[in-house]
Amino acid sequence: MGDPLSSVVAELGLDPESAPEKGMRLLLLLSFVFPQHFQHKEIVQKVISFLEIERDGIAALTLSVLSFVGKEFTRDHIVLAYFG
């Protein structure tokens, strides 16, 4: 069996070179419209893990997603509690 991500990309007929950036652009849009859905510990940690992807533009898009999500945090909802 191959990489699960590769099989999804092939099944959808996407270009493997542009799929990661398109996926991040979709997450960026969703984080802008529905930031509250990105505030769970596991999701924030997964988004942060995208910073390790070594492709042009992915880190910038990831930081933008985190910026939209972070705007919704309140003082009672301390981000450091997730990662500390």
What are the residue boundaries of the structural domains of the chain, listed by start?
15-83
Instruction: Say which range, 18-22, 30-34, 60-64, 78-82, has the weakest mean pLDDT.
Output: 78-82
Sorting pLDDT into bands at 50, 70 and 90, what band is 1?
Answer: very low
Q: Is the pLDDT of residue 78 over 80?
A: no
- Per residue in 40-54, pLDDT (tens digit) is 888 888 999 999 988
45-to-1, 48, 49, 50 alpha-carbon distances in Å: 27, 5, 6, 9
